[in-house]
Structure 1
């Protein structure tokens, strides 16, 4: 099945995981979650920048794994996905995952958010989004992030 067109900007403010995130892999992971053409910027940042963005835009004063800034959903999905490298690395270690596999999950998760999926609105919405993430990730040959329960 052909995937929607993707224009991808990949930025590394924190370069420590650059080798784990080649453009072709990042594009593959994002495309797997897209239902429409998209222009997406992925920015890998340090925890300090991640914390500042989370505080300024969500009112939560800590670095989180992924932030999605969605601007349009139709006819083209336009979004920025910001991932805090240190948080991703720590979570991957806690979960016993390869860092790249955890990035794949978070990029799929953020891409779904950019298209209007939301797991914070209700338990039913969370279950639906998690099931779809699992379908996408296992289709990519990756782990089921919810096999042990919700993140």
Structure 2
């Protein structure tokens, strides 16, 4: 894998639409290149798919993620990332893969606690969310190993060190107890 992300069209003959919705200005203030990082990361996650896809990434905050987590998962607390898979066919012929929603406060806090850059942590959690849209999960140990291995491989292509190397993120995307 090269250091260059795939072209915006992904594989030849496929189209990619990546919508980024800013629900919290802190993302742009802390990470001015956040849109580029998110787009590149989503494309890396989708690079092996040949169909025309659309993904929406919402750059939110703890109150938004807590509300979503409570309403859709019965967990009344904020979390770092949530994914909402879809399989809708859109009028333009793209298939809506789903939505990935990130919380600025939780991502920034975790990056600081784990001595990682906000950019790298944001890329990791964006990719983590995209993989959930593709059907990967980490509920069972075997599934977690597969998903984490793929994350490590794809993140390495972006020049990002293994986020699981020190065991800190063994529950990426999971709620804390």
Q: Does the pair score TM above 0.5?
A: yes
- Map 1:92-107 onto structure 2 (within 5 A): 92-107=111-126
- Map 1:1-151 onto structure 2 (within 5 A): 2=6, 3-4=10-11, 5-19=15-29, 20=31, 21-34=33-46, 35-36=48-49, 37-72=52-87, 76-120=95-139, 122-149=140-167, 150-151=170-171
Distance 2:88 2:141 in 1: 23
Normalized against structure 2, the TM-score is what? 0.78
Deviation, structure 1 residue 139: 1.1
Look up the SS of the partner of 2:58 in the other structure.
strand
Runs of at least 5 residues in structure 1 that lack an aligned partner in the other structure: none
Normalized against structure 1, the TM-score is what? 0.91
Look up the SS of the partner of 2:76 in the other structure.
coil
Runs of at least 5 residues in structure 2 that lack an aligned partner in the other structure: 172-177
Distance 1:142 1:73 in 2: 32
Does 133-142 or 26-35 show the bigger shift?
Answer: 26-35
Check the 8 A contact 2:34/2:119 in 1, yes or no. no
Structure with more helix by fraction: 1
Check the 8 A contact 1:73/1:114 in 2, yes or no. no
- RMSD between aligned alpha carbons? 1.9
Deviation, structure 1 residue 25: 2.2
Q: Which of these two proteins has the greater Rg computed from alpha carbons?
A: 2
